[in-house]
Structure 1
């Protein structure tokens, strides 16, 4: 049969008993005995708490990649990776490259269209947007309106908004006892 054991096969090594049992345990003991007794022989370069590390920390330039804290916390991981790849943020780069990326991130921070296109989860609303249009407010065209004219027009506008809210609030699930408040 094909699976039969042939003595002396495989270069004369017995595969069933080679490297097992006592011999393997002795090899492991020898390896552990050769390890240094204390941390001073490991030649580590830094300590994180009590843990020795074999790499040096270096100071890097802080970069938020053009996103606010809220945008970072609210966006999905795949969107953040598309905005700024994790591979790019974790690699070792020179200070010039870091400064160039910082300038680019500041420029990208003001590009709202790009943010809306990439970070879709920030612009998608979980509740429906309802638009109600009220009756127009008649306004007299005055070349230089006084502060009183502006205040009266503002008060009329707020009255009309309140009336529109009161008329339609129950239709859209707002309790009858709720009042519209302006700040």
Structure 2
């Protein structure tokens, strides 16, 4: 949603925290009779949950960038619907993946995912690396297959081969198909 950065550090959550603490403090001082709030400020207790919810949603909604990568500088797709996916691995976290979103860097592709809830809380990223580069946390592309004009299948596998995902993607726009095709062909 919003960011306020100083020296590449987002201070907005701390500002929200200070505002919430100040609102709670003013309300407590008013309740104890130490100060008298006028002009409607006595209703400040009703605004604390609203500001708190806004702060939490603002923090949770933004995607966490990989170290040293600024997502706003990269090309990205829109949310792509994944009505089904298949997971193979030793530990299934029970994750529901309804949408995926890709960010394309020079040698890596960052794939974020989210479930169907409307607040767009993103998880990830899965880092898809080129086959010749090694990353212990990375995945390699096994398959990207265009099924028809708006559907595709994407398979990724961890570099150690223990975990793999296969996503059936639908409602892919022409622009996103071009981005995916152009950027995944070298992987």
More helix by share: 1
Query: Aligning the two structures, in what range does the TM-score lie when normalised by the shorter sequence?
Result: under 0.3
Higher strand share: 2
Using the size of structure 1 for normalisation, the TM-score is 0.23
Greater radius of gyration (CA): 1
- Structure of higher RCO (CA pairs closer than 8 Å, 6+ residues apart): 2
The two structures have a TM-score, normalised by structure 2, of 0.23
